[in-house]
Amino acid sequence: MICLAKQGHEVTGVELNPIAVQAFFRENQLQTTRRQAGKFILREHGRLSYFSLTKEYGTDRYGL
């Protein structure tokens, strides 16, 4: 994902687990903006956007 963003592409990811999204950005030392987007939490850094489900609609609800 990062490689594509560095090449100038808009990259969008979707993840059920918001902890995985936080870990992805932390492991890659990327500062993000965070905002609510409907049922999702959207984190963005440059051309990289990552959606994760809120707790209400995420893994707790479906028992995953």
Token pair listed for 14 = 């979707």
10-62: CATH topology is 3.30.720
Q: Average pLDDT in the 26-51 region?
A: 93
Q: Domain-by-domain residue ranges, the chain?
A: 10-62
Report which of residues 16 and 47 the model is more confident about: 47
Q: Which of 15, 14, 4, 5 is nearest to 47 (CA)?
A: 5
pLDDT of residue 13 exceeding 70, the answer is yes
Q: Average pLDDT in the 13-29 region?
A: 91
pLDDT at 35: 93
Q: What is the rounded CA–CA span in Å between residue 60 and residue 44?
A: 24
pLDDT of residue 15 exceeding 70, the answer is yes
pTM score, two decimals? Answer: 0.75
Q: What is the pLDDT of residues 42-62, one digit of tens each?
A: 999 999 999 998 766 655 554
Note whether 18 and 56 are within 8 A (CB).
Answer: no
